[in-house]
Structure 1
Amino acid sequence: MHSRLRFENPSALAHEVVGETLERALRDRSAEGEAAEVLVGTALNDDNAEFVEHWCVQVGMRAVSGSPLLGLAGLCLGHTTRRFGRLSDDALALAESLAVRAEADPRDVDSRAIDGYDDVRSFLHLR
Structure 2
Amino acid sequence: MHSHLSFENPPALPHEAVVEVLERALHDRSAEGEAASVLVGTALNDNDADFVERWCREVGMRAVPGSPLLGLAGLCLGHAARRFGHLSDEALALVESLALRAEADPSDVDGRALDGYDDVRSFLHLW
TM-score band by shorter chain is over 0.9
**2:84 alignment partner in structure 1:** 84
Percent identity, aligned pairs only, is: 80
Aligned residue-pair number: 127
Cα RMSD (Å): 0.4
TM-score relative to the length of structure 2? 0.99
State the Cα distance separating 1:56 from its structure 2 match.
0.1
Moved segments of 4+, more than 2 Å: none
State the Cα distance separating 1:126 from its structure 2 match.
1.1
Cα separation, 1, equivalents of 2:112 and 2:67: 12
1:2-81 alignment, distance < 5 Å: 2-81=2-81
Cα separation, 2, equivalents of 1:40 and 1:19: 13
Deviations 1:91-117 (A, max 9, x none): 000000000000000000000000000
Cα separation, 2, equivalents of 1:98 and 1:19: 22
State the Cα distance separating 1:53 from its structure 2 match.
0.2
State the Cα distance separating 1:19 from its structure 2 match.
0.1
State the Cα distance separating 1:29 from its structure 2 match.
0.1
Residue 94 in 1 paired to residue 91 in 2?
A: no
